[in-house]
Each structure stands twice: as structure tokens, then as C-alpha cells.
Amino acid sequence: MLKTGNILRIALLLSVVMISCNGEEPAEEGSNNGGVRLMPVETVTIVQGEFEDFIRLTGTVEAIDDAVISAETSGRILSITDRGSRVQRGGIIARLDDRVIQSQYNAAKTGFELAEDTFNRLETLYADSIISTQDFRSARAQRDQARAQLNQAEKMLQDSQISAPFTGRVEERMIRTGELLNPGQPVVRLVNTDRVRILAGIPERYAGEIGEGSEVEVIFRSLDGETMSSTISYAGNVIDPDTRAFTVEIELENTGERIKPDMVVDLRVKRSTLTDVIIIPRTAVLRDEEGVSVFRSSNRNGRKVAELVDVRTGSASGSLIQIVNGLQEGDEIVVSGMRTLSAGDELNVIRSESNLERAERLQAAERPTVSF
């Protein structure tokens, strides 16, 4: 009786003999019968289209109306608006003890009324040449001086009620009820976030392409990637010597006040729109010391074979790049699987689409799906 080990040896010898008789060798994994590797790839077919060239920046949010309101006169605080309260333009933020100021105002008003009455009486006498010119001028000077004192007292009385220069929300209180206030001392920080602006720096090399009116897409990191579209409302004419950039501002409506000052945002600023150009995914481009190239599908005896083609690139934005030389409409290039691909390998195309369809999918993946 044959043992199990002997049976296995006999079976192995028979299989070798059968292969030798047929004159064939086992095929390499991932290869066809001709010894050429069969590589799974994804491709795109080149169609010329439109390409929007964007540059990506980071910006910060600030309120358009944001001010620290200070006192213009001295006095003790009688009342002050609570933090978080909204105040209309001209509304009272804080009140000072104005009893002394009110007394000064009343005295100045009485003095002015007396001086004006005296001047009016002397003016008639002067017209009839009853009093001298010197007496008339002296009465006029006293009236003018009394008017100046009244105006000063009236201004101090107005300043005893600190009002809002614009509609906003009290974000900080720097003083409390009962404390003594001096001229120039900060009282509250008033902020209006109904409209905000975003500040960013544009590299100087784009000075001739980006300016006021350029389209911008704003992406808010802190709001789950929500986006807003706007345009540059201000572009500076001065280059910062440290950053080699010029400042731009983008103004936005802030409905619901969800956008907060000092938020960090991402910006996609449109540089230009190119028409009838060839665009492909960046991942399809191979770079080495000899230059830039892509794998193109070449027909060989009815089979698709990888061919390495030198290309010249142009503008780039996000995951897309422009090809200005080396490819033409109708070419089929490899966009996935080329890292392990070699020239001459046979292509097993598992997915194929136009370059424009691929570009649209890549751009949709880069943009957040939620917007205001």
C-alpha cells in the first residue's frame, strides 16, 4: 500500500510531465500569456474645456464697526449698559453724575442771556452814537465769551451721557457702576457684526491679475466648511516688505451673526478663466530629474499599452493642472495606478471617463456640500 507522502510525490511528477509535454510554462501573476504585465488602471479621455485658475489663501475675519468707546468728561458712573446688550446708534451706553455739570450749564446759560441782553441794548445806543465804540466792542466781546462758555458747558452736559456712535452690541465693559471716570478712560467695547470683512494678503506676483472686483469663495473652517461667494471690495496699492504681499478686503453680510471676528477662513481667489484648454488631475503627472511626463494609452495590435509621454504644464489649481504641450484632444491618459506602471505594460482599464467629468468630480470633492 502506498503511503500518503509517496502519493503526493507521484502527483507532482505527473503534473510536471504534463506541462513539459504541452511546451508551456506557468504565466506570471498579473501578466498575459506573452509575458507582458497586465496592469489595472483608470483613464481619462482628453476633451478641451474651461479652466478656472484659483489661488488659495488664509484670511481672518474682523467686524467693520468695532470700537472702544471712551469718556470725554469726568464723573461718577450712575448706570452702564450690560454686556451683551444691543444698542442703537445714538442710544445711551452709560450715564454720569451730571449734577455739577448741570449747575455749570445753568450758570453759563444765565451769564450768556445777560451778556446778550446787554449787548442788544448797547447796540441800539451805539447806533445813535450815545456810547463809544470801545464800550460797544467790550459788550460784544463779553457776549461772545459768554456764548463760548455756554457751548462748553452744553458739550460737557452732553458728554455726561455716553452714546453709541453706531448700532452694535456691548462686548466688554471696562468700568463698573459707582466708579469714577476720567476723560479718555475706556468704558465699553461696542461691536457690530451685521457686516464683517475678511483681511488677507495676496502675493505680489499676482498684483497684475487680482484686484478689486475679483471673485472669491470664502470657506469657514469653524462652521463645518460652510461657504460664501463674494468679491474683493478693497485691494491695497502698497506691498508689505516683510510678507511681499498686498492687503485685500472682502465684505460679507452676516445674517444671524454666525461669523465671529478673528475667525480663520480659507479663500479661493479667482485668478483667471481659461477657455479651450486641456486640464488633467495633478496625480496623473509624473516628475523626475528629466522633466514632466504622463502615461498615455497607445494601441498595439488591438491592445492598450502604456506609453510615457513628455508634457509641459501650465496653471494649476487645487487637484487640477493645465497641460500646454504634449497632449491633444482625444488622447487617453492614465490617472490612477501609474505609480507601479512601466512603459510597455498592457492596460486593464477598469474605469474611463472624460477629463472634464473627472475634473468636475474632483472639484466637487474639494468644495463643502453645505452653504449659506
Q: Does position 7 have pLDDT exceeding 50, yes or no?
A: no
Report pLDDT for 30.
54
pLDDT of residue 277: 86
Displacement of CA 335 from its chain's centroid (Å) = 31
The answer to whether 192 touches 168, Cβ cutoff 8 Å, is yes
What is d(CA 215, CA 223) in angstroms, rounded to the nearest whole number?
21
Q: What whole-number distance in Å separates Cα of residue 119 and Cα of residue 142?
A: 8
Between CA 93 and CA 73 the distance in angstroms is: 14
Long-range contacts of 206-214 (CB under 8 A, 24+ apart): 206/55, 206/271, 207/239, 207/246, 209/271, 209/272, 210/55, 210/235, 210/248, 210/269, 210/271, 211/235, 214/269, 214/270, 214/271
Three cell numbers at 11?
502527483
Cα–Cα distance measured from residue 290 to residue 299, given in angstroms and rounded to the nearest whole number: 25
> What's the pLDDT at 242?
92
Q: How many CB atoms lie within 10 A of CB 33?
A: 9
Q: What is the mean pLDDT of the chain?
A: 85
Over residues 133-162, the pLDDT tens digits come to 898 899 999 999 999 999 999 998 888 899
Q: For each of the domains in the chain, give its residue range(s) and CATH number, in order of start.
A: 32-54+275-366 (2.40.420.20), 60-64+189-273 (2.40.30.170), 98-159 (1.10.287.470)
% the chain with pLDDT above 70: 89
Q: What is the pLDDT of residues 268-295, one digit of tens each?
A: 898 877 788 898 998 899 998 888 999 9
Cβ neighbours around 312 below 10 Å, total:
12
Q: How confident is the model at residue 2 (pLDDT cuts 50, 70, 90)?
A: very low
Kindly report, residue by residue over 33-66, the tens digit of the pLDDT: 456 789 899 999 999 888 777 888 999 999 999 9
Cβ(81)–Cβ(170) under 8 Å? yes
Q: How far is CA 265 from CA 52, 65, 137, 250, in A?
A: 21, 20, 67, 12
Quote the distance between the C-alpha of residue 162 and its chain's center.
35
Per-residue confidence (pLDDT) for residue 35, from 0 to 100:
64
Residue 365 bridge partners (DSSP): none
Grid look-up 445711551 returns 92
- Assign 372 a pLDDT band (cuts: 50, 70, 90): very low
> For the segment 92-136, what is each residue's pLDDT rounded down to a tens digit?
999 999 888 889 999 999 999 999 999 998 888 888 888 888 988
Q: 199-243: per-residue pLDDT in tens?
A: 999 999 888 889 999 999 999 988 888 889 999 999 999 999 999
